[in-house]
Amino acid sequence: MKKDNLVRVEIIFSQAVEEDFFEIFRHEKIGYHYSKIDNVTGSGFSNPKLGDAIWPQLNEIMVIYCPEAEAEKIIEVVERLRRHYPAEGIACFTSEAQCR
């Protein structure tokens, strides 16, 4: 992979859908190189994920640096899972990145 002209894809999602992401990524042969942060709390545009007695779920964050073509495929997966799980609050952010 070229070290320049990468895209940073950051996905915030409920632990409940983690397996779905990894299964689709394996099938589509994308998202192999990632960092994942477990047990993330927060409140976005869906139910809060606070890991407590009232809001017991937790989120995860996956950060992937990849070429633009792969980023587009990852975004398609995010959109597909959003349609399949509309109440889970799946967020996705992209930005340009350079490996130095």
- Would you say residue 45 lies in a domain? yes
* Number of independent structural domains in the chain: 1
- Give residue 43's domain range: 6-97
With a cut of 70, say whether residue 4 has pLDDT above it.
Answer: no
Which of 7, 1, 35 lies closest to 98, judged by CA?
7
27 pLDDT tier (thresholds 50, 70, 90): very high
| Position 44 pLDDT exceeds 80 | no
1 in any annotated domain: no
Q: At which residue do the structure tokens 């073509």 appear?
A: 69
Assigned domain for 41 exists: yes
How far separated are the first and last CA of the chain, in Å rounded? Answer: 13
In a domain, 93, yes or no: yes
- Regarding pTM above 0.85, the answer is yes
CATH assignment of the domain containing 92: 3.30.70.120
% of the chain with per-residue pLDDT over 90: 70
Q: Is residue 19 part of a domain?
A: yes
**pLDDT (average), residues 16-32:** 96
pLDDT digits (tens, 9 = 90+) for 79-98: 999 999 998 889 999 999 98
Kindly tell me if the per-residue pLDDT of 51 is higher than 90: no
